[in-house]
Amino acid sequence: MTNHNQQETNATTAEKNIHTDFTHNMTYGEYLGLDKILSAQNRLSGHHDEMLFIVIHQVSELWMKLILHETKAAIVSIEEGDLSTAQKRLARVSKTQSQIIQAWDVLSTMTPSEYMEFRDSLGQASGFQSYQYRMIEFALGYKTDHVLKIYQKDPALHAELKAAFEAKGLYDVAIEALHKAGLPIDEDVLNRDVTKTYRDNESVRKAWMTVYHNTDHYWELYELAEKLIDLEDWLQQWRFRHMKTVERVIGFKMGTGGSSGVGYLKKVLDQRFFPELWAIRTEL
């Protein structure tokens, strides 16, 4: 018997326990709900490239679901004082963000001419209305209420968005962690209205400066700060790739959702989620 035949025989013997009868057992597809997922790409125009457009956005929404899952868990971990677990979860968020960023490279293979073939089929639907993306912004401390208005027609979703809007964000609990570590934080920051977008504060800046000047003593807070920087860095890279892809495909046309399109996307690049953590880099 040749070595090749022997290898084939060994492989067949090794895999003799592979399950093939699923009459009474759950399959891979059933576990993942693939019948629902893979039947959700409904092209309205019938145009070939609309499939790409739908899949990219659905995949991004799935990744955003994971980002929210991990970020919410990280918030709970920080509140409980378990910073190491929070760091693990936020590290996973950063890796997930890298996947969403790369998705723009795939979408950018669609040309303006191809997109124009089915753009009108979208009506007023737009990524601008992504409630998961807004919930990510809420979790990072940037609060705007326009999405609450968009989803008033869906009471259950509206309630979920409202709860996220009124909840403490990741930076709120990180600042509380500074306070719990004995670093002085202004009371008006600790008791702030969390439905308002966070604004930089001198006491928070000084607290982070203390952490960065004494990394051995505040190691877990220092590591947490760097994880927060990772999140904002990757989010801004996602926004930049979004803006450039939109510019590449539709130029400076108005967005389907009524926004100014590229102009709006350029403006949000200036938003800061963790302003003191960026400011102290100049001072250190």
213 assigned ligand-binding residue: no
222 assigned ligand-binding residue: no
Report helix, strand or coil for 123: coil
54 assigned ligand-binding residue: yes
Q: Are 276 and 200 in contact (CB under 8 A)?
A: yes
Tell me the pLDDT of the chain (284 aa) as tens digits. 556 666 555 555 667 777 776 677 888 899 999 999 999 999 999 899 999 999 999 999 999 999 999 999 999 999 999 999 999 999 999 999 999 999 999 999 999 899 888 888 887 777 778 899 999 999 999 998 877 888 888 999 999 999 999 999 999 999 999 999 999 999 999 999 999 999 999 999 999 999 999 999 999 999 999 999 999 999 999 999 988 888 888 786 765 666 667 877 888 788 889 999 999 999 98
282 assigned ligand-binding residue: no
Cα end-to-end distance, the chain, whole Å:
71
- 83: tokens are 């910073």
Domains, the chain, in order of start with CATH, read 46-251+261-281 (1.20.58.480)
59 assigned ligand-binding residue: no
Residue type, position 77, single letter:
S
115 assigned ligand-binding residue: yes
19 assigned ligand-binding residue: no
Q: 42 — alpha (psi -120 to 50), left (phi > 0) or beta?
A: beta
